[in-house]
Amino acid sequence: MSEAILVMTSLPDAESAGRVARAVLESRLAACVNRLAPCESEYWWQGEIESAREWPLIIKTTQERYAALEAAIRLAHPYEVPEIVAMPLVAGFAPYLAWVAHETRSAADEGDSA
C-alpha cells in the first residue's frame, strides 16, 4: 500500500478553491479534500510584507500520487508561486489509510487488480 500524505495549498477565493478541489478529486489524485474557512495570511512577497484572505485546502493522497497532484494544482492555481506542501503521516487509523490508497489508485492500477 502506498504511504498516505497530507498536502496543503491555499487559494485566493472560494471559487478557485472549489475548482482545485473538484479537479484533484475527479482525477483521483485525492481521496478527500477539506475546504477550510477563509483565513488571513501574512507573507513576504517581492520585498514587502503582504496580507491576503485565502481559502486553505487539506488534501489526502499518497506519496505515489504527489507529483501528479502537484502538477494538477500548479496548472489550476492562479498564483505565480503557490503554496504546495506535503506532510507525511506518521500514524493513522489503518482502514482510513487503506481507503486513501484505494481511492487514489490510477486507472492503470485498477486494471492490474482485475
* Boundaries of every domain in the chain: 4-106
User: What is the 8-class DSSP label of residue 2?
Assistant: P
pTM to 2 decimal places:
0.91
pLDDT digits 0-9 by tens, 74-95: 999 999 999 999 999 999 999 9
List the end-to-end C-alpha distance of the chain, in Å, as a whole number. Answer: 17
Tell me the CATH architecture of domain 4-106. 2-Layer Sandwich (3.30)
pLDDT of residue 35: 98
- Residues with Cβ < 8 Å from 100, sequence gap 6 or more? 4, 31, 32, 60, 61, 62
Confidence band of 111 (pLDDT split at 50, 70, 90) = low
Cell (9 digits) for 36: 477550510
pLDDT digits 0-9 by tens, 58-68: 999 999 999 99
> Would the pLDDT of 102 be above 70?
yes
> Would the pLDDT of 3 be above 80?
yes
